Structure 1
Amino acid sequence: MRAPLLPLFVLLALFATLAWAEETQEENLIAKMRLFTQEASQRAQEHLATLQESEVAQKAREWLDSSITWSKEYFTELRERFSSLWETKA
């Protein structure tokens, strides 16, 4: 009876060791992926900050601001002209 138990315990120990080894590899892989995503996120933020500070981005922002201001002024003038037309007809 004792002879079959010894190989069983050896097999159980082997399976436990293999399961533990796979678990640690999986944990290492998860840790590596977290580190990779953190580094990628940090680099993306750094590049975005560099782009926002660049001269081209500042010029584009100024152009967009001036275009929006011009558009607001244009549509305000149009609204005033149409409102004066409606007032004279009424």
Structure 2
Amino acid sequence: MKASLLLVLGCVAVLAAGARADTAEEPEVLRKVQEYAQKATAMAKTAFSTLQESEVAQQARQWLVDNADLGKQRLAWLKERLADLWKWTPVA
């Protein structure tokens, strides 16, 4: 599910809860909207947890961990070069 759809469903659920607070009895439409919002939330949670547990996501996390040191080394090299350049630039 797209994030925008989840946002819309969340807004509908909030509006439905507000409407419920204004009325003494719970209409059938409100109950169905709340059930749909709960099912959509459960499906989204399941999808996100499945994605996090997938082999591709695990490989991506491992790749990031493995290459973090290389990124830090390149950033340190770039900082050093910029510092050298800053020292070398004549003052106007």
TM (normalized to structure 2)?
A: 0.55
User: Cα RMSD over matched residues?
Assistant: 2.5
Distance, in Å, in 2 between the alignment partners of 1:86 and 1:41 is 53
Q: How does 1:64-79 map to 2 (within 5 A)?
A: 64-79=64-79
Larger fraction in helix: 1
Gaps of 5+ in 2: 1-25
Q: Number of aligned pairs?
A: 65
Q: How does 1:49-88 map to 2 (within 5 A)?
A: 49-84=49-84
Gaps of 5+ in 1: 1-25
- Aligned identity (percent) is 37
1:40 matched residue in structure 2:
40
Aligned-partner residue type, residue 37 of structure 1? A
Distance, in Å, in 2 between the alignment partners of 1:89 and 1:35 is 66
TM (normalized to structure 1)?
A: 0.56
Highest RCO, 1 vs 2 (Cα 8 Å, sep ≥ 6): 2
CA deviations on 1:46-88 (whole Å, 9 max, x unpaired) are 1110110111101011223334432221010222244356557
Distance, in Å, in 2 between the alignment partners of 1:80 and 1:87 is 11
Q: Which moved more, 1:73-82 or 1:43-52?
A: 73-82
Distance, in Å, in 2 between the alignment partners of 1:53 and 1:28 is 38
1:37 shift after superposition: 0.8
Name the SS for the 1:40 alignment partner.
Answer: helix
